[in-house]
Protein backbone atom coordinates (compact mmCIF):
# COMPACT_ATOMS: atom_id res chain seq x y z
CA UNK A 1 0.00 0.00 0.00
CA UNK A 2 1.26 3.49 -0.89
CA UNK A 3 0.31 6.42 1.31
CA UNK A 4 1.16 10.09 0.97
CA UNK A 5 1.18 12.06 4.20
CA UNK A 6 0.43 15.76 4.18
CA UNK A 7 2.74 16.26 6.04
CA UNK A 8 4.60 13.00 6.68
CA UNK A 9 8.10 13.65 8.02
CA UNK A 10 9.15 17.19 7.14
CA UNK A 11 7.53 18.74 10.23
CA UNK A 12 9.38 16.45 12.65
CA UNK A 13 11.39 19.28 14.24
CA UNK A 14 8.23 21.28 14.88
CA UNK A 15 5.89 18.41 15.76
CA UNK A 16 7.09 14.79 15.71
CA UNK A 17 3.54 13.40 15.73
CA UNK A 18 3.52 12.52 12.03
CA UNK A 19 6.90 10.85 11.86
CA UNK A 20 6.15 8.85 15.02
CA UNK A 21 2.94 7.61 13.45
CA UNK A 22 4.34 6.82 10.01
CA UNK A 23 7.71 5.25 10.84
CA UNK A 24 6.26 1.96 12.17
CA UNK A 25 4.14 1.55 9.03
CA UNK A 26 7.11 0.33 6.98
CA UNK A 27 6.97 -2.91 8.96
CA UNK A 28 3.27 -3.24 8.17
CA UNK A 29 3.72 -3.26 4.41
CA UNK A 30 2.89 0.42 3.94
CA UNK A 31 5.12 2.91 2.16
CA UNK A 32 4.61 6.49 3.30
CA UNK A 33 5.88 9.39 1.17
CA UNK A 34 6.03 13.09 1.88
CA UNK A 35 3.38 15.19 0.18
CA UNK A 36 4.21 16.33 -3.34
CA UNK A 37 1.46 17.72 -5.59
CA UNK A 38 3.04 16.51 -8.82
CA UNK A 39 3.53 12.94 -7.62
CA UNK A 40 0.06 12.89 -6.17
CA UNK A 41 -1.54 13.87 -9.47
CA UNK A 42 0.50 11.31 -11.38
CA UNK A 43 -1.41 8.70 -9.40
CA UNK A 44 -0.39 5.44 -7.85
CA UNK A 45 -1.24 6.37 -4.26
CA UNK A 46 -3.88 4.43 -2.37
CA UNK A 47 -4.35 7.05 0.34
CA UNK A 48 -3.67 10.74 0.87
CA UNK A 49 -3.62 11.33 4.62
CA UNK A 50 -4.23 14.98 5.54
CA UNK A 51 -3.55 16.47 8.97
CA UNK A 52 -3.87 20.27 9.02
CA UNK A 53 -5.72 21.22 5.84
CA UNK A 54 -6.76 24.48 7.51
CA UNK A 55 -3.16 25.78 7.59
CA UNK A 56 -3.73 28.13 4.66
CA UNK A 57 -6.54 29.82 6.61
CA UNK A 58 -3.94 31.46 8.85
CA UNK A 59 -2.16 33.36 6.07
CA UNK A 60 -2.07 37.12 6.66
CA UNK A 61 -3.41 38.15 3.25
CA UNK A 62 -7.08 37.31 2.70
CA UNK A 63 -6.47 37.07 -1.06
CA UNK A 64 -3.56 34.66 -0.66
CA UNK A 65 -5.61 32.71 1.84
CA UNK A 66 -8.51 32.37 -0.62
CA UNK A 67 -6.31 31.46 -3.59
CA UNK A 68 -4.31 28.89 -1.61
CA UNK A 69 -7.52 27.39 -0.26
CA UNK A 70 -9.06 27.09 -3.74
CA UNK A 71 -5.90 25.49 -5.12
CA UNK A 72 -5.84 22.94 -2.33
CA UNK A 73 -9.50 22.03 -2.77
CA UNK A 74 -8.95 21.65 -6.51
CA UNK A 75 -5.93 19.43 -5.92
CA UNK A 76 -7.89 17.19 -3.59
CA UNK A 77 -10.69 16.85 -6.11
CA UNK A 78 -8.23 15.83 -8.84
CA UNK A 79 -6.51 13.33 -6.55
CA UNK A 80 -9.84 11.69 -5.86
CA UNK A 81 -10.57 11.45 -9.57
CA UNK A 82 -7.24 9.62 -9.92
CA UNK A 83 -8.47 6.99 -7.47
CA UNK A 84 -6.71 8.12 -4.28
CA UNK A 85 -8.71 7.85 -1.05
CA UNK A 86 -8.68 11.03 1.03
CA UNK A 87 -8.42 10.60 4.81
CA UNK A 88 -8.30 13.43 7.33
CA UNK A 89 -7.04 13.23 10.92
CA UNK A 90 -9.01 15.87 12.79
CA UNK A 91 -6.47 17.79 14.87
CA UNK A 92 -8.48 21.04 14.62
CA UNK A 93 -12.03 21.85 13.56
CA UNK A 94 -11.20 25.49 12.84
CA UNK A 95 -8.17 27.71 12.60
CA UNK A 96 -7.10 28.98 16.02
CA UNK A 97 -7.34 32.73 15.38
CA UNK A 98 -9.76 32.61 12.40
CA UNK A 99 -8.35 35.76 10.71
CA UNK A 100 -10.46 35.30 7.55
CA UNK A 101 -13.94 34.12 8.61
CA UNK A 102 -15.47 34.25 5.12
CA UNK A 103 -12.75 32.08 3.61
CA UNK A 104 -12.99 29.80 6.63
CA UNK A 105 -16.71 29.24 6.06
CA UNK A 106 -16.03 28.67 2.36
CA UNK A 107 -13.42 26.03 3.17
CA UNK A 108 -15.33 24.08 5.80
CA UNK A 109 -18.45 23.88 3.63
CA UNK A 110 -16.48 22.17 0.86
CA UNK A 111 -13.60 20.25 2.39
CA UNK A 112 -15.56 17.50 4.22
CA UNK A 113 -17.43 16.63 1.01
CA UNK A 114 -14.17 15.67 -0.69
CA UNK A 115 -13.21 13.09 1.93
CA UNK A 116 -13.54 9.33 1.86
CA UNK A 117 -13.10 8.97 5.62
CA UNK A 118 -11.73 10.58 8.75
CA UNK A 119 -9.75 9.73 11.87
CA UNK A 120 -10.50 11.35 15.20
CA UNK A 121 -8.07 11.40 18.11
CA UNK A 122 -10.91 10.77 20.57
CA UNK A 123 -14.59 9.81 20.77
CA UNK A 124 -15.37 13.26 22.16
CA UNK A 125 -13.63 14.88 19.20
CA UNK A 126 -15.58 12.69 16.82
CA UNK A 127 -18.91 13.68 18.36
CA UNK A 128 -18.01 17.37 18.20
CA UNK A 129 -16.90 17.07 14.58
CA UNK A 130 -20.12 15.37 13.54
CA UNK A 131 -22.09 18.20 15.12
CA UNK A 132 -20.03 20.98 13.55
CA UNK A 133 -19.49 19.35 10.15
CA UNK A 134 -22.65 17.39 9.27
CA UNK A 135 -21.15 16.27 5.94
CA UNK A 136 -18.96 13.88 7.93
CA UNK A 137 -21.98 11.93 9.15
CA UNK A 138 -22.20 9.95 5.92
CA UNK A 139 -18.50 8.99 5.97
CA UNK A 140 -16.72 6.11 7.71
CA UNK A 141 -14.79 7.29 10.75
CA UNK A 142 -12.18 5.81 13.08
CA UNK A 143 -10.83 6.74 16.49
CA UNK A 144 -7.04 6.48 16.89
CA UNK A 145 -5.65 8.28 19.97
CA UNK A 146 -2.69 10.64 20.01
CA UNK A 147 0.49 8.83 21.02
CA UNK A 148 2.94 9.74 23.77
CA UNK A 149 6.35 11.41 23.48
CA UNK A 150 8.35 9.26 25.88
CA UNK A 151 11.86 8.76 24.54
CA UNK A 152 11.43 11.35 21.79
CA UNK A 153 13.12 14.27 23.54
CA UNK A 154 16.33 14.31 25.62
CA UNK A 155 15.64 13.19 29.19
CA UNK A 156 18.87 13.08 31.15
CA UNK A 157 18.59 15.56 34.01
CA UNK A 158 17.31 14.72 37.46
CA UNK A 159 14.74 16.76 39.36
CA UNK A 160 17.49 18.21 41.55
CA UNK A 161 19.65 19.14 38.55
CA UNK A 162 16.71 20.71 36.71
CA UNK A 163 15.80 22.88 39.69
CA UNK A 164 19.38 23.92 40.25
CA UNK A 165 19.72 24.97 36.60
CA UNK A 166 16.49 26.99 36.81
CA UNK A 167 17.29 28.56 40.17
CA UNK A 168 14.32 26.96 41.93
CA UNK A 169 14.46 25.73 45.52
CA UNK A 170 14.29 21.99 46.09
CA UNK A 171 11.46 22.62 48.58
CA UNK A 172 9.27 24.83 46.39
CA UNK A 173 5.97 23.51 45.01
CA UNK A 174 6.34 24.16 41.25
CA UNK A 175 3.57 24.61 38.72
CA UNK A 176 4.36 24.80 35.01
CA UNK A 177 2.83 25.96 31.78
CA UNK A 178 4.92 24.79 28.82
CA UNK A 179 4.27 25.23 25.11
CA UNK A 180 3.36 27.72 22.42
CA UNK A 181 1.26 30.48 23.95
CA UNK A 182 -1.90 31.41 22.06
CA UNK A 183 -4.86 33.45 23.35
CA UNK A 184 -7.10 30.39 23.86
CA UNK A 185 -4.48 28.78 26.11
CA UNK A 186 -5.46 31.29 28.82
CA UNK A 187 -2.00 31.87 30.25
CA UNK A 188 -2.59 35.41 31.66
CA UNK A 189 -5.57 34.02 33.61
CA UNK A 190 -3.38 31.22 34.96
CA UNK A 191 -0.86 33.79 36.19
CA UNK A 192 -3.51 35.93 37.85
CA UNK A 193 -5.05 32.86 39.48
CA UNK A 194 -1.69 31.66 40.77
CA UNK A 195 -0.97 35.07 42.30
CA UNK A 196 -3.99 34.57 44.55
CA UNK A 197 -2.27 31.62 46.24
CA UNK A 198 -0.79 32.52 49.62
CA UNK A 199 2.14 30.09 49.67
CA UNK A 200 5.29 32.26 49.50
CA UNK A 201 7.40 29.28 48.42
CA UNK A 202 5.21 28.28 45.44
CA UNK A 203 6.56 28.90 41.95
CA UNK A 204 4.81 29.20 38.60
CA UNK A 205 7.00 28.78 35.54
CA UNK A 206 5.63 29.90 32.16
CA UNK A 207 7.84 28.63 29.34
CA UNK A 208 7.02 29.10 25.68
CA UNK A 209 6.81 31.55 22.83
CA UNK A 210 3.81 33.92 22.76
CA UNK A 211 1.93 33.95 19.48
CA UNK A 212 1.94 37.75 19.28
CA UNK A 213 3.79 40.68 20.93
CA UNK A 214 0.54 41.92 22.48
CA UNK A 215 0.08 38.58 24.22
CA UNK A 216 3.65 38.71 25.49
CA UNK A 217 3.00 42.13 27.01
CA UNK A 218 -0.22 40.90 28.63
CA UNK A 219 1.65 38.01 30.23
CA UNK A 220 4.42 40.29 31.52
CA UNK A 221 1.84 42.68 32.94
CA UNK A 222 -0.02 39.84 34.69
CA UNK A 223 3.23 38.62 36.28
CA UNK A 224 4.65 42.02 37.26
CA UNK A 225 5.50 42.42 40.93
CA UNK A 226 5.38 38.73 41.92
CA UNK A 227 8.81 37.09 42.04
CA UNK A 228 7.17 33.68 42.34
CA UNK A 229 6.19 33.85 38.65
CA UNK A 230 9.14 32.93 36.42
CA UNK A 231 8.75 33.79 32.73
CA UNK A 232 10.73 32.09 29.98
CA UNK A 233 9.10 33.69 26.96
CA UNK A 234 10.67 32.34 23.84
CA UNK A 235 11.13 29.20 21.81
CA UNK A 236 12.16 26.30 24.03
CA UNK A 237 14.66 24.01 22.26
CA UNK A 238 13.98 20.28 22.43
CA UNK A 239 16.99 19.65 24.67
CA UNK A 240 15.69 22.14 27.26
CA UNK A 241 12.16 20.76 27.62
CA UNK A 242 13.42 18.27 30.19
CA UNK A 243 14.58 21.03 32.54
CA UNK A 244 11.12 22.51 32.94
CA UNK A 245 9.22 19.22 33.03
CA UNK A 246 11.57 17.49 35.47
CA UNK A 247 11.53 20.52 37.78
CA UNK A 248 7.71 20.70 37.90
CA UNK A 249 5.28 19.11 40.33
CA UNK A 250 2.21 19.89 38.21
CA UNK A 251 1.65 21.01 34.62
CA UNK A 252 -1.38 23.31 34.29
CA UNK A 253 -3.08 23.74 30.90
CA UNK A 254 -6.11 26.00 31.45
CA UNK A 255 -7.26 26.13 27.80
CA UNK A 256 -10.59 27.77 27.05
CA UNK A 257 -11.10 25.54 24.00
CA UNK A 258 -9.43 22.45 22.59
CA UNK A 259 -10.16 18.93 21.42
CA UNK A 260 -6.75 17.32 21.99
CA UNK A 261 -3.51 18.42 23.60
CA UNK A 262 -0.01 17.39 22.66
CA UNK A 263 1.19 19.46 25.65
CA UNK A 264 -0.69 17.15 28.01
CA UNK A 265 0.93 14.08 26.48
CA UNK A 266 4.34 15.71 26.59
CA UNK A 267 3.95 16.33 30.34
CA UNK A 268 2.82 12.77 30.98
CA UNK A 269 5.72 11.48 28.88
CA UNK A 270 8.00 13.12 31.47
CA UNK A 271 5.88 11.60 34.27
CA UNK A 272 4.44 14.90 35.42
CA UNK A 273 0.75 15.01 36.48
CA UNK A 274 -1.49 17.50 34.71
CA UNK A 275 -4.46 19.75 35.46
CA UNK A 276 -6.87 20.58 32.64
CA UNK A 277 -10.50 21.64 32.20
CA UNK A 278 -12.97 18.82 31.61
CA UNK A 279 -13.28 19.39 27.86
CA UNK A 280 -12.55 17.60 24.61
CA UNK A 281 -10.53 14.41 24.93
CA UNK A 282 -9.35 14.99 28.51
CA UNK A 283 -11.72 12.48 30.12
CA UNK A 284 -10.62 9.81 27.66
CA UNK A 285 -6.98 10.61 28.42
CA UNK A 286 -7.79 10.31 32.12
CA UNK A 287 -9.28 6.87 31.53
CA UNK A 288 -6.25 5.80 29.50
CA UNK A 289 -3.58 6.79 32.03
CA UNK A 290 -5.54 6.98 35.28
CA UNK A 291 -6.89 9.56 37.69
CA UNK A 292 -3.58 9.67 39.58
CA UNK A 293 -2.05 11.46 36.59
CA UNK A 294 -4.86 13.58 35.11
CA UNK A 295 -6.99 15.93 37.21
CA UNK A 296 -9.87 17.89 35.67
CA UNK A 297 -12.10 20.77 36.66
CA UNK A 298 -15.30 22.42 35.45
CA UNK A 299 -15.78 26.09 34.64
CA UNK A 300 -13.02 28.65 35.06
CA UNK A 301 -9.75 27.96 36.84
CA UNK A 302 -9.96 29.39 40.36
CA UNK A 303 -7.42 29.72 43.20
CA UNK A 304 -9.22 26.95 45.12
CA UNK A 305 -9.04 24.58 42.15
CA UNK A 306 -5.38 25.37 41.61
CA UNK A 307 -4.48 24.98 45.30
CA UNK A 308 -6.38 21.70 45.57
CA UNK A 309 -4.72 20.33 42.43
CA UNK A 310 -1.27 21.27 43.72
CA UNK A 311 -1.92 19.39 46.97
CA UNK A 312 -3.13 16.41 44.90
CA UNK A 313 0.03 16.49 42.79
CA UNK A 314 2.28 16.63 45.86
CA UNK A 315 0.48 14.21 48.17
CA UNK A 316 -0.86 11.40 45.95
CA UNK A 317 1.42 8.37 45.85
CA UNK A 318 1.88 7.41 42.21
CA UNK A 319 4.32 5.19 40.28
CA UNK A 320 7.55 6.72 39.00
CA UNK A 321 6.33 6.40 35.41
CA UNK A 322 2.96 7.29 33.92
CA UNK A 323 1.29 4.23 32.30
CA UNK A 324 1.39 5.17 28.62
CA UNK A 325 1.42 1.70 27.05
CA UNK A 326 -2.02 2.18 25.47
CA UNK A 327 -0.57 5.13 23.57
CA UNK A 328 2.44 3.38 22.01
CA UNK A 329 3.03 4.42 18.40
CA UNK A 330 3.35 0.92 16.83
CA UNK A 331 -0.16 0.08 18.06
CA UNK A 332 -1.54 3.39 16.80
CA UNK A 333 0.16 2.83 13.43
CA UNK A 334 -1.53 -0.57 13.15
CA UNK A 335 -4.91 0.96 13.91
CA UNK A 336 -4.32 3.65 11.28
CA UNK A 337 -3.24 1.14 8.63
CA UNK A 338 -6.35 -0.93 9.31
CA UNK A 339 -8.43 2.21 8.69
CA UNK A 340 -6.60 2.73 5.37
CA UNK A 341 -7.26 -0.86 4.33
CA UNK A 342 -10.92 -0.74 5.18
CA UNK A 343 -11.34 2.45 3.17
CA UNK A 344 -9.39 1.01 0.23
CA UNK A 345 -11.51 -2.16 0.25
CA UNK A 346 -14.71 -0.22 0.73
CA UNK A 347 -15.55 -2.22 3.88
CA UNK A 348 -15.45 0.63 6.41
CA UNK A 349 -18.68 1.12 8.32
Three-state SS sequence of the chain: CEEEEECCCCCCCCCCHHHHHHHHHHHHCCEEEECCHHHHHHCCCCEEEECCHHHHHHCCCHHHHHHHHHHHHHHHHHHHHCCCEEEEECCCCCCCCCCCHHHHHHHHHHHHHHCCEEEECCHHHHHHHHHHCHHHHHCCEEECCCCCCCCCCCCCCCHHHHHHHHCCCCCCCEEEEECCECHHHCHHHHHHHHCCCCCCCCEEEEEECECCHHHHHHHHHHHCCCCCEEEEECCCCHHHHHHHHHHCCEEECCCCCCCCCHHHHHHHHCCCCEEEECCCCHHHHHHHHCCCCEEEECCCCCHHHHHHHHHHHHHCCCCCCCCCHHHCHHHHHHHHHHHHHHHHHCCCC
Residue-level pLDDT at 273: 98
What is the pLDDT averaged over residues 203-211? 97
Residue-level pLDDT at 178: 97
**Where does the pLDDT of residue 55 fall: very low under 50, low under 70, confident under 90, or very high at 90 and above?**
confident
What is the pLDDT averaged over residues 209-220? 96
Residue-level pLDDT at 230: 98
Q: Which CATH architecture has domain 2-147+328-345?
A: 3-Layer(aba) Sandwich (3.40)
With 90 as the cut, is the pLDDT of residue 261 above it? no
With 90 as the cut, is the pLDDT of residue 84 above it? yes
Domain boundaries, the chain: 2-147+328-345, 159-326
**Where does the pLDDT of residue 56 fall: very low under 50, low under 70, confident under 90, or very high at 90 and above?**
confident
CATH tag, 159-326: 3.40.50.2000
User: Are 2-147+328-345 and 159-326 in the same CATH fold?
Assistant: yes
* The model's pTM: 0.93
Residue-level pLDDT at 97: 66
Q: What is the mean pLDDT of the chain?
A: 95
Amino acid sequence: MRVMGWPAFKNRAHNPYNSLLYRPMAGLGVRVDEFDAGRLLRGGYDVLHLHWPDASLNLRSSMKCFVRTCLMLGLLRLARLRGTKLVWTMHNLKSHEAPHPRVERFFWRRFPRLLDGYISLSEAGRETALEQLPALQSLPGFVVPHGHYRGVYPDEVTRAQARQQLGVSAKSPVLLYLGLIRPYKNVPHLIRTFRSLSDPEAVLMVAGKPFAPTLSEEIKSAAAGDARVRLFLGFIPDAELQRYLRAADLVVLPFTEFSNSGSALLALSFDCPILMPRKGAVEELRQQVGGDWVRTYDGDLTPDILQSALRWALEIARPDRAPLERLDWPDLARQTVEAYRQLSRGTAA
